[in-house]
Amino acid sequence: MKKKVFTPEIAFRNPEFLDSHEARTARILCEYLEPEAKLRKLKVNNTVLFLGSSKANPDDKKSALTKYYWEAEELAYHLVQWAIRLKPKGKNFVICTGGGPGIMEAANRGAARAGGKSIGMNISIPSEQYPNQYISPELSFLFHYFFMRKFWLIYKAKAVVAFPGGFGTLDEVFETLTLLQSQKIEKGDIPIILYGEDYWREVINFDALLKYGNIEPDDLKLFSFYSNPKDALSYLKKRLLEYLVEAD
């Protein structure tokens, strides 16, 4: 009787290995290469990143965050309307969010209302955050590693609009400002809008940071405050035209 020969699994199809500690580098690399391939295939030249609270509820009339939800939706809507008319269509200044609810949903929603595509870069966490319904399905991503998600949130961004938010928003804002301050991203290359001046000045005492010598006066020029969609849109349109990428 012929003995059955054991055939091992090919390494890249072996789920036990791929989930192991030893394969962590491969998993990290996948979270770099898969978004890169997909964004290239869909010809996404660059993005406008919207940050903000996941807790903003469009139906909660008592919450101070509700107005920011609708202002984020309005700003994204008008920005996408403007971007669609540029050439090449749909390739420049694609709305990008962290993919969840709240302000993220609002920005994806505004893009969808304008007839544009938008990106959602979700994260797998214990209190599961599900992709919102307004993300373009072909541009919906799910990450395990926070640092890879943050890399892709900022990598193609030509502007960042940060609405009021909590720890996650603050983390993303300060990481972006640190990259600019340390010239890992050249100063002036990415306009940063802190939307809702009263909120940001109350939550972060920028003058105290300057007073104690922890930042330089020029660091305060890395961002601008805006508190209504019309003025923020006007500023973004002027700055973004510097980064318009022509068709291949």
Q: What is the pLDDT of residues 5-36, one digit of tens each?
A: 888 889 989 999 999 999 999 999 999 999 99
Please, what are the domains in the chain?
A: 47-243 (3.40.50.450)
Residue 99 makes CB contacts below 8 A (sequence gap 6+) with 108, 119, 120, 121, 122, 123, 129, 131, 132, 135, 140, 141, 142
Identify the pLDDT of residue 128: 63
**Which residues, including other chains, have CB under 8 Å from residue 235's CB and lie 6 or more apart?**
191, 193, 224, 226
pTM over 0.85: yes
The per-residue pLDDT for 156 is 95
Cα–Cα distance list, 241 to 82, 165, 166 (Å): 11, 28, 31
Distances, alpha carbon 50 to alpha carbons 11, 16, 107, 176, 244, in Å? 39, 37, 7, 12, 19
Q: How far apart are CA 123 and CA 143, in angstroms?
A: 5
Distance CA 23, CA 17 (A): 6
